Structure 1
Amino acid sequence: MSVTILQFPGTNCEMDMAYAYKLIGAPYSIVWHKERCLPKDTKLVVVPGGFSYGDYLRSGAIARFSPIMQAVSEFAAQGGYVLGICNGFQILCEARLLPGALKRNEGLHFISQSQKLRVASTSNAFLCHYQQDSEISLPIAHADGCYFIDELSLRTLQANEQILLTYVDNPNGSVANIAGICNERKNVFGLMPHPERAIESLLGGLDGLAMLTSLYERASQR
């Protein structure tokens, strides 16, 4: 099986993701956004972070219309695993593959720091290797990371255990301290923190490695 990592004009984390999956031992390919099909052996699609199309209009709003996103939507509808990180999370929300929206941080500042997070649910392929309610630390780097969702939809997320990660000290004003979510089917995941930047002790910690490993392992079983 192969991990397919998307690349848009302005993304800057595709090589970080490639390095992470090389470290795990997973074959991968980087696919340009103008392609209309995913590689046939794709089992996991990763939409990486960066500033697709310079974040014009809204973060992820233009990338959502790139040709490859139709293929990603069809892949997800068939049960394929999709992971969006930072700008990738924004793109998945814009594409309606995940509920809610990401807006400008409370205070209107770009935030770049190591962030404490709480594991809110382990009943999913992304966080199944973690302990419920444990605290981990991952880097964040965003200006539009404030997650918003209406009250009724929030209750649905809570009831279905779709909230994956929450901020210990909310840095951006996100509703209910939400840092990451999944869809109801639990095959599409999105988060603002960067697990690919926490996969080696040299980088300051290993808290992101199990996320990427467990999702790859689960995807390979499909």
Structure 2
Amino acid sequence: MDTKDIKVCVLRIEGTNCEDETNEAFRMLGASVETIHLKQLTSDVSPALRRSLEDYHILAFPGGFSAGDYVRAGAIFAARMKSALAGDLQKFVESGKPVLGICNGFQILVELGLLPAMGKTMSDFPQSALYTNDSARFECRPTFLRHDNRGRCLFTSQIPQGKVLMIPSAHAEGNLKFPSDMQSKYLEKLEENDQIVFRYVNPNEDEVSYPWCPNGSISQIAGICNEGGNVLGLMPHPERVMFRFQHPDWTRSKECPDGAGDGRAVFQSVLDSVKKSF
């Protein structure tokens, strides 16, 4: 399969606001990308506008504030999708097709039960939550992420284990937590299953607290995948550093400003994985 034949669905509803950047990230690498509204998958539109999830190779949930983040961040988007498309979504994931959730998209994947989804494709109820940041405010800052995955995640196949990337964060609810009586067990399982993909670190690659970890997430986790490695939830925004000139230190680095930014490898990795699998 050529990259141009890979069909990517960037899914949005009211309140989503990072769909254009996510679309462009895939498009600039040669994929065929379409940004659609959830109603187009649930057939709540005219026949000409309807789309089917099975026609796509990759599904992406971009960042934003879907449905105003009422109830909980991502909860309304997830409830609407699960009520109408649970079977289609489960089939999509079980077929090995990749699903990416960035920021609000990560929150949606957790609410859908697709992450961490230990022991099943999609849990009936959320197994974790992305709480309000420990600072109790919206955090928008450059963050350093260490790639800790040992090879399971399709979205990081081109990123060496241990490599540190600069990917900016912009969220108010990125504090990953599990039920208090299960935190240790869940964390142990995530490690055992190779589901931890990125952790927040400082420039010296140490595991840290605020502000380097902007939210207080357990074990400084910034991104996790499912047991199959084809569903990734990531709080920071890789689509915002596709070029070197988008890094805050690009003038000091003396690197080519049009060179690859640290986020590009996430999108290139999954496109290469799809080319090999379909």
| TM-score of the aligned structures, taking structure 2 as reference length | 0.76
Partner of residue 12 from structure 1, selected from 14, 17, 24: 17
Instruction: List runs of 5+ in structure 1 lacking aligned partners.
Output: none
Instruction: List runs of 5+ in structure 2 lacking aligned partners.
Output: 1-5, 43-50, 117-127, 202-211, 248-259
Report what 2:97 is aligned to.
80
Deviations 1:127-170 (A, max 9, x none): 11112112110010000000112221111000111000000132
Partner of residue 63 from structure 1, selected from 69, 77, 86: 77
Report what 1:126 is aligned to.
155
1:176 equivalent in alignment to 2:181: no
SS of the aligned residue for 1:66 comes to helix
Report what 1:164 is aligned to.
197
Deviations 1:44-97 (A, max 9, x none): 100100000000010001000224753333311332210000000000000000
Report what 1:117 is aligned to.
145
* Contact 1:165–1:178, Cα closer than 8 Å, also in 2: yes
1:195 equivalent in alignment to 2:238: yes
1:210 equivalent in alignment to 2:243: no
Structure 1 or 2: more strand by fraction? 1
Deviates more, 1:29-38 or 1:16-25: 29-38
* Contact 2:16–2:65, Cα closer than 8 Å, also in 1: yes
State the AA in 2 paired with 1:175: I
Report what 2:114 is aligned to.
97
Deviates more, 1:212-221 or 1:52-61: 212-221
Report what 1:48 is aligned to.
62
SS of the aligned residue for 2:113 comes to coil
State the structure with more CA Rg. Answer: 2
Distance in 2 between residues matched to 1:203 and 1:66, nearest whole Å? 35
State the percentage of identical aligned residues. 39
Which consecutive segments of 4 or more residues in structure 1 shift more than 4 A? Answer: none
Residue 18 of structure 1: CA displacement?
1.0
Distance in 2 between residues matched to 1:31 and 1:122, nearest whole Å? 33
SS of the aligned residue for 2:140 comes to strand
Residue 122 of structure 1: CA displacement?
4.3
SS of the aligned residue for 2:105 comes to helix
State the AA in 2 paired with 1:18: N
Quick one: structure 1 residues 69 and 176, their matched pair in 2 at CA, closer, same or farther if it must change by over 3 Å? farther
Deviations 1:175-218 (A, max 9, x none): 00000000011111101010000101232270000111111221
Distance in 2 between residues matched to 1:23 and 1:141, nearest whole Å? 23
Number of residue pairs matched by the alignment: 222
| TM-score of the aligned structures, taking structure 1 as reference length | 0.95
Computed over aligned residues only, the root mean square deviation of the Cα atoms, in angstroms, reads 1.5
